[in-house]
Chain A
Amino acid sequence: MSVVGSRFLDPRILAKLPNLELVAKRLVQGAFVGYHKSPDFGYSVEFVDHRDYAAGDDLRTVDWRVWARKDKYFVKRFEMESQLKATVILDTSRSMAFGEGPLTKLEYGSYLSACIAYLLIHQNDMAGLVTFDERVRQFVPPRGSRGHLRLILHALGQTQPGPATDVAAVCHHLAETIKTRGMVVLVSDLLDEPEAVLRSLQHFQHKKHDVIVFHTLDDAELELPYEELSNFRDLESGRRLAVDPAVFRAQYRGRMQGFCEEIRQGCLKTGIDYHLIRTSQPIESILNRFVAFRLRRSV
């Protein structure tokens, strides 16, 4: 896989770029230059049946030949072919505002969401966006137009860290809300009860969605690299706890790895595509995983 332009994909450099669209464009083009012959994908419509015309229907869908024969208005119904509806669900809770590197998890997730939306729309798929914390904050339904991409990028640009998170409740709510089956891309640190999170993800699957989880964590969360005794403040609850990281590092790592492993195993069992990503990783590698997942689902 070519990685031309990958120097632009380093999160430290991304952090200096002001325009999210530009970031997404560079990221996607940089990542997939030469991967496809043309970035434009065609689509076809297959006739299914007719139905009675109803007021408000688009006149272009009126079958005039049937009107000519039967003097009744019928509307032609078509089956949309190979156009994916993907919804990117981005966790914007306050815990996502954490980051010891150049990017916070929320910034990293925003870039990743923008890239996915850019990629999908430029593949003539439809992309939507949901941001949430303890409840849904923004909902952009999946669309495939270029203008819709700007809408998504604008929504991402307006994202602010919310209060606490409730991944499970929000996912259950979205599973019921998103009627059309499609792809659900969850970008979150999943700092909730693993069992509840897994059950909510299974809820998507139950609704026939393809689910891919980008478990976004900072290196500091995984490693707890601090040395001096500190008063740790929970970003969501505001609680404080004096902890000597040198003393408790090993226990913390074990608990964190156990948490991640539990999520991963749960996803593996239910067929959910799970990816643990670090905010220090180049986004191109993440996009590769997404494209691979997309291709697998297209076969």
Chain B
Amino acid sequence: MGLMSAGFLFAALAAAVPVAIHLIHRQRYPERPFTTLRFFDKTIKHNTLQTRLIDKILLALRVAALLLVALALARPYGAWNFGEQRRSVVLVLDNSPSMGRGVEHEQLFARAKTAASAVLAELGATDRAALVLTANVPRRDQFARRSEAEAALSLREGRPTSLWVDGPGGRAHSLAELTTDTARLRLALQALPEDTAVELGGMEPAPDGELSAELEAVRERLDGTALSALSGDLAAALGRAKALLAHSTDAGRRIVVCSDMQASEWSAAADLELDGFELAVIPSVPGETGNNLALERIDLERAEAAWGQSVNGTAVVRNYAKRASDAAVLTVIGADRGRPVEIKVPPLAAGQTMHLGFALPVTGRERSMLATARLNGLSDPFAYDDAWHFQVGVRQPVSALCVNGHPAERPSDRETFYLANALAPRSEGAALEAAADVRECEAGDLGGQQLFQYGTIVLAGVSRLEPAALEKLRQFVNDGGGLLVFPGIDAVPADLNGWGLLPAKVLDVKRASFGYLKDVDTRSAAMAEVKSRAGAELHALSAHTRAFLEPNANARVLARFQDDLPALVEGRTGRGRVVLAAAGCHVTASDWPLRPAFVILVRALVRALGDRQGPLPLALDRHVGFGASMAIPGELAEGTPAAFFHTHSPDGQEQYQPESWLRAQAGVSLPVAWTDGHYSLAVRPGQSAGVLEEPGVGALSVPLSFNRRPGESNLEAWDTKELAQHLPNLGASVIDPAVPAQALASGSASREWGRYVLGFVLALLLFESFLAWRSASEAEQ
């Protein structure tokens, strides 16, 4: 019970006006001496007393009318509300991330919950209530076949949907961002093989409770509500609240919204009609928001870099506050004992965006380096958008062994001279980084080498090998090693063919017309890199002494000369790969070593052959509220424990926190990542029971980085006037947050009061008119 606009009670002072008029008027009656009052006594005296009584009644009624008008203006609520037998109230609680701001050591969301609780406390035993949350919850549907996903997509027509395709190459087909472009999604699906497992993601409203008279249960649900990491959809929440009230037949039906009045959320409700239901808004507005810097995103120049090198990145920082920001520091640090990079962020004007470049050293022994960029050094009440989590692929150095087939006194006469220079430049201040950890040996010493410590072995001009060396070489390739062969000018085809390792049969090695490299097969990642980096220089690779090759059945020609003869042939032996070149790597056999494209070619081939890490694991930019999945080999699909590990904590310390996980088909999935940070999805082969407590050695793991969804940083709270200006159709009344129970003072109750007061005043006017008419009639008589 209370008054919404208690200030209007001062209007009750107007009740003194008729009293004053009455007193003044009474004193102004002229006194008239008269002979006798005996002729008034019997009738007139009675009438005078009646008149005086009527005057008193009229005075009381006039005073009462003015008091009622003042009371109606003060908009009473609570027990003042009469005429309403039972009320239905839908509490719409804004649990979007913007409610996570802290004001005076209290979170806005906590304030909103307190206000909602106060409203619940005002409800009576017969009233009913329901709770509706504005933030959506994610929805993920996994499909084993593409056609099933296409059918499901038809049902999602028009709703924001994302497409995730797991596994190698899946990144190219995935549409990580939610989109309503169904045609684009359908085209992406149609490009996939039929048996591809895909996931369709999206957001849907959180399940709402029904209107219930068990207010305690509603209160418990309210207490258990947590702040969401997903954007709010206030319009949808209001629509659901309206639907709930539409099924109610109670007299007083109203929606009470506890929100921070963010324009980005409320503006979506511009076209919403509430069908006459009353809307009260309890704002949790922090007033001056202070600093509100947001780290919008991190753009990396390249997705991976060699170990020890640096990757260039750009941090996009924007000031969303309505005033200039304070100076801050952007700290970028690798999650795995990296050296932090600190960049000063100067004060930014309101609305200004700044791109800050940084070079992050790539370290760590994993395939991916987890990194976090964070804005520090300023007081930002909305810290939710101050961090960004990302990954950098780490290209571990390839160890290469160059085997010289022509021993010589002068280094430049060695077959490996140009090769080693191309892979690891020896000159001071070389602009090129080392592509590999290169070592050299003579062909005769190959048998004594421990080949397992190398990634790639390059045979330069080697024609004849010792049987023991050959056997070790075969074992090396079968175990997954890479072998690159450049035949020498005096190579004997029979010897080469006798190894049994080469992907092509060497028909002859002879001096012939110059052969120029015409084209390369870009389906090979290495050759695609060569073509993209070398460009037209690729055609400058010519050789006058060539090996004429006949590729094996399962071999692939990576490059051809202008006369279509194979220049590079790749084949697989065991788990390793072998590439055979048709030209030598010394200037005595060809001019390849003299061309810049040779450096690019050799580096790419050595790296591709020696890289045993495989492609970068799937690391799409993922947003909180969604999950992630990884495909696992068939032999691990049954009985293998799997887990997600949250490896990020707000204080920057690593921690392994098991999360819920889900096995589906031949994969495991994280259903929902509720907070931003780094996660690690891991399965451990060979274990059929127990709980996987940490990834550990031997586990197959995929690092994942989750970031907030954009859109919550733009904090612009509407005030009462702006709310009425932008959303006139809602007819919302904004409640004083200090007295949240006023939300139950509905407009209809006020109108009800207004109607009663109006009726009272009209009755009073009728009464006075009747008295005036009666007086006039008596005067005429």
Which A residues lie at the B interface, using CB under 8 A? 95, 98, 105, 189, 191, 218, 221, 226, 228-237, 239-244, 246-252, 255-256, 259
Contacts and interface: CB of A to CB of B under 8 A. Distances in A.
A239 B32 contact: no
Contacts of A229: 29
Given A242-B29, A244-B51, A247-B47, A191 B38 contact: yes
Interface string B38-62: 1110111101100110000000000
Interface string B770-781: 000001001101
A221 B39 CA distance: 10
A246 B30 contact: no
A232 to B, nearest CB: 5
A246 B51 CA distance: 14
A242 B34 CA distance: 12
Contacts of B32: 226, 230-233
Contact of B35 (A98, A241, A248): A98
B778 A247 contact: yes
Given A230-B30, A244-B51, A247-B778, A235 B43 contact: no
Contacts of B51: 242, 244
8 nearest A-B residue pairs (beta carbon) = A230-B32, A95-B35, A255-B39, A246-B779, A248-B44, A98-B35, A232-B34, A234-B37
Contact of B30 (A228, A250, A259): A228
30 contacts: A95-B36, A98-B33, A98-B34, A98-B35, A226-B32, A229-B29, A230-B29, A230-B30, A231-B31, A232-B32, A232-B34, A232-B37, A233-B31, A233-B32, A234-B36, A234-B37, A235-B33, A237-B37, A241-B48, A243-B48, A244-B51, A247-B775, A247-B778, A248-B40, A249-B779, A250-B778, A251-B43, A252-B39, A252-B40, A255-B39
Contacts of A105: 35
Contacts of B33: 98, 232-233, 235
Interface of B: 29-40, 42-45, 47-48, 51-52, 775, 778-779, 781
Contacts of B35: 95, 98, 105, 189, 191, 218, 221, 234-236
A241 B29 contact: no
A235 B34 contact: yes
A240 B31 contact: yes
A252 B47 CA distance: 12
A235 B36 CA distance: 7
B36 A248 contact: no
B44 A241 contact: yes
A243 B44 contact: yes
Contacts of A235: 33-36
A97 to B, nearest CB: 8
Contacts of B36: 95, 191, 234-236
Contacts of B43: 248, 251, 255
Nearest to A98: B35
A225 B44 CA distance: 16
Given A236-B36, A248-B40, A252-B40, A241 B775 contact: no
A247 B779 CA distance: 4
Contacts of A247: 47, 775, 778-779
Given A189-B35, A191-B35, A241-B40, A248 B30 contact: no
A233 B33 CA distance: 5
Contacts of A252: 39-40, 44
B777 to A, nearest CB: 9
Contacts of B37: 232, 234, 237, 239, 241
Given A230-B29, A231-B31, A252-B44, A242 B39 contact: no
A26 to B, nearest CB: 29
A250 B781 contact: yes
B116 to A, nearest CB: 61
A261 to B, nearest CB: 13
Contacts of A241: 37, 40, 44-45, 48
Given A235-B33, A250-B778, 14 more contacts: A98-B34, A105-B35, A221-B35, A226-B32, A230-B29, A231-B32, A232-B34, A233-B33, A234-B35, A236-B35, A241-B40, A241-B44, A242-B48, A244-B51
B489 to A, nearest CB: 140
Question: Which of B29, B35, B779 is packed against the most chain A CB atoms within 10 Å?
Answer: B35
Contacts of A240: 31
B31 A230 contact: yes
A191 B35 CA distance: 9
Nearest to B39: A255
B40 A243 contact: yes
A77 B491 CA distance: 208
